[in-house]
């Protein structure tokens, strides 16, 4: 791999030249975009660039990852652990084995008897925070 940095431009542009686009290339692309605080995703064959501020949560269903906003659901080719690494410092937290939640979008929390937490997010949707991740969520929010 060859990396070249050239100063003196008004904007940042990254060009990846490769023989074939692989999963590693996609990961690199997403990491670069996460730095810009936007995520590439697709819906019905069209690619969209979504601001992380508009994302409610991510979810994996049958080995496919999805990104949820208030109005739309998009697909993305990343595993949840990659998304979690990319956005860990941006207010996102793992809420279950198959979900990552934007804690800035939580409007209400309600504990249940089994140690889980029911989170109501913007738009009124309810998500379950599993016992395994409930303690971490409370710590991140400063709740006892």
Report pLDDT digits (tens) over 58-112: 999 999 999 999 999 999 999 999 999 888 778 899 999 999 999 999 999 999 8
pLDDT tens digits along 2-52: 888 888 888 778 888 999 988 888 878 767 766 667 888 999 999 999 999
The predicted pLDDT at position 131 comes to: 93
The predicted pLDDT at position 36 comes to: 62
Mean pLDDT confidence for 123-127: 94
The predicted pLDDT at position 73 comes to: 97
Residue 39's CB is within 10 A of a number of other CB atoms, namely: 23
The predicted pLDDT at position 102 comes to: 94
What are 1's two structure tokens?
């791999």
The predicted pLDDT at position 34 comes to: 60
Q: 23-104 — its CATH code?
A: 2.40.50.40
Helix ranges (DSSP H) in the chain: 23-35, 80-87, 131-141
The predicted pLDDT at position 33 comes to: 66
> Which is higher by pLDDT, 56 or 115?
56
Owner of token pair 């659901």: 73
Which residues does 116 contact at the CB level (< 8 Å), separation at least 6? 128, 129, 130, 131, 134
* Distance separating the N- and C-terminal Cα atoms of the chain: 48
CA–CA separation, 14 and 12 (whole Å):
7
**Cα–Cα distances in angstroms (integers) from residue 90 to residues 41, 44, 112, in the given order:** 18, 28, 27
Which residues does 60 contact at the CB level (< 8 Å), separation at least 6? 66, 79, 80, 98, 99
Domain chopping of the chain, boundaries:
23-104
Binned at pLDDT 50, 70 and 90, residue 118 comes out as very high
pTM above 0.85, yes or no: no
Q: Are 129 and 140 in contact (CB under 8 A)?
A: no
The predicted pLDDT at position 43 comes to: 95
What are 74's two structure tokens?
């998009």
């Amino acid at each position: 791999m060859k990396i070249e940095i050239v100063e003196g431009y008004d904007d940042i542009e990254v060009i990846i030249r490769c023989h074939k686009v692989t999963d590693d290339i996609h990961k690199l692309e997403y990491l670069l975009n996460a730095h810009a605080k936007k995520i590439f995703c697709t819906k019905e064959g069209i690619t969209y660039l979504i601001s992380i501020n508009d994302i409610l949560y991510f979810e994996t269903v049958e080995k496919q990852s999805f990104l949820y906003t208030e109005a739309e659901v998009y697909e993305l080719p990343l595993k949840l652990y990659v998304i979690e690494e990319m956005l860990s410092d941006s207010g996102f937290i793992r809420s279950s084995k198959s979900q990552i939640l934007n804690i800035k979008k939580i409007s209400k929390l309600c504990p249940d008897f089994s140690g889980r937490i029911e989170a109501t997010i913007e738009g009124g949707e309810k998500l379950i925070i599993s016992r395994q991740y409930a303690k971490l969520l409370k710590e991140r929010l400063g709740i006892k």
